């Protein structure tokens, strides 16, 4: 199976990355993290106008008519940029909730006992009755808990796969930041990347991210539940371990508000709880393996 991107897919990824670099750069990220979480409605409408939410809608319904592979590329870029907001719920609601496709309507979704961005939402998928605010580890992802809701999550395959794509973006960005810092930071008259311990950390981050990339891209092509579950597990591991290793490379600097490393780690923690977390993916993968040919 080949995963080389087509010219159109490469152009889509480049275009999304440039859009996010223009509208959501490091300065905007740090400014947003310094205050209470607030959804940028203007940016949301711009994302809708750019087609992010209507990406998989048929052209006859006003969408771009693209598929899961293209949606994975876009969500990988939003994960890499650490873009906040209920992107996944709004994307999934395009075509069913009026205004979601264009970004005019912000949609949140009940995911097991948790709801992201409930206060900012115009519409909610699921029943959030009785939801109470919950202190979130990620300053840019406000959470509510729904009392009495089942803890297993919905584990809808497309939602799981696009979450894995966001985790992949975080893993790739963490690897980039670690390598950049290892090249620039000097100790004992040498870049810290010259020391074996730092080299091994960066190499391990790259291996985990590229392994997760192959699994996520494969699952986007096959859409098989077992492939999606495997992609989720590998992407969660790449994001969580990658951001922790990136913190190690940065040392104490990585914990400061001037660095964005800790923000990636906190977002990875929150995403890892979606859809019942890795336990649901492990059960799905185990059931598929035991079913046998």
- pTM for the whole structure: 0.95
Q: What angle do CA 205, 207, 209 make, to 5 degrees?
A: 70
pLDDT at 237: 98
Q: What share of the chain is helix, strand, coil (3-state, %, to 5)?
A: 60, 5, 35
| Token pair recorded at residue 61 | 């319904």
| Helix, strand, or coil (residue 123) | strand
Going by DSSP bridges, is the β-strand pair 186-187/123-125 parallel, antiparallel, or unpaired? unpaired
- Tell the burial category of 244 from Cβ atoms under 10 Å away from its Cβ (0-12, 13-18, 19+): middle
At 108-118, the pLDDT tens digits run 999 989 999 99
The residue with tokens 């939003």 is 78
pLDDT tens digits in sequence order for the chain, 293 residues long: 567 899 999 999 999 999 999 999 988 998 898 888 889 999 999 999 999 999 999 999 888 999 999 999 999 999 999 999 999 999 999 999 999 999 999 999 999 899 999 999 999 999 999 999 999 999 999 999 998 877 655 578 999 999 999 999 999 999 999 999 999 999 999 999 999 999 999 999 999 999 999 999 999 999 999 999 999 999 999 999 999 999 999 998 887 877 889 999 999 999 999 988 888 889 888 988 888 76
* 181-199 as b/e: b if 16+ CB within 10 A: bbeeeeeeeeebbeeeebe
CB 85 within 8 A of CB 117: yes
CB 100 within 8 A of CB 94: yes
CB 139 within 8 A of CB 128: no
At 46-86, the pLDDT tens digits run 999 999 999 999 999 888 999 999 999 999 999 999 999 99
């Amino acid at each position: 199976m080949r995963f080389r991107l087509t010219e159109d897919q490469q152009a889509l990824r480049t275009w999304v990355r440039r859009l996010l670099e223009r509208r959501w750069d490091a300065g905007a990220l740090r400014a947003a993290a310094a205050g209470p979480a607030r959804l940028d409605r203007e940016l949301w409408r711009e994302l809708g106008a750019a087609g992010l939410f209507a990406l998989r809608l048929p052209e006859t319904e006003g969408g771009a008519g693209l598929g899961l592979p293209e949606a994975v590329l876009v969500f990988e870029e939003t994960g890499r940029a650490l873009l906040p907001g209920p992107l996944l719920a709004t994307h999934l609601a395009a075509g069913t909730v009026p205004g979601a496709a264009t970004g005019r309507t912000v949609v949140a979704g009940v995911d097991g006992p948790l709801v992201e961005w409930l206060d900012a939402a115009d519409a909610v998928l699921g029943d959030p009755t009785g939801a109470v605010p919950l202190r979130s580890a990620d300053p840019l992802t406000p959470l509510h808990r729904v009392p009495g809701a089942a803890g297993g999550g919905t584990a809808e395959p497309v939602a799981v796969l696009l979450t894995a794509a966001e985790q992949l973006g975080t893993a790739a960005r963490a690897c980039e930041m670690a390598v950049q810092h290892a090249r620039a930071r000097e100790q004992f008259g040498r870049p810290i990347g010259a020391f074996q311990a730092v080299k091994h950390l960066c190499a391990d981050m790259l291996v985990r991210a590229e392994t997760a990339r192959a699994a996520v891209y494969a699952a986007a092509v096959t859409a098989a539940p077992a492939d999606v579950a495997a992609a989720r597990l590998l992407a969660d591991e790449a994001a969580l371990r990658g951001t922790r290793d990136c913190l190690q490379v940065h040392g104490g600097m990585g914990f400061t508000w001037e660095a964005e490393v800790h923000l990636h780690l906190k977002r990875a923690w929150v995403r890892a709880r979606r859809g019942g977390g890795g336990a649901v993916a492990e059960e799905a993968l185990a059931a598929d393996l035991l079913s046998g040919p």
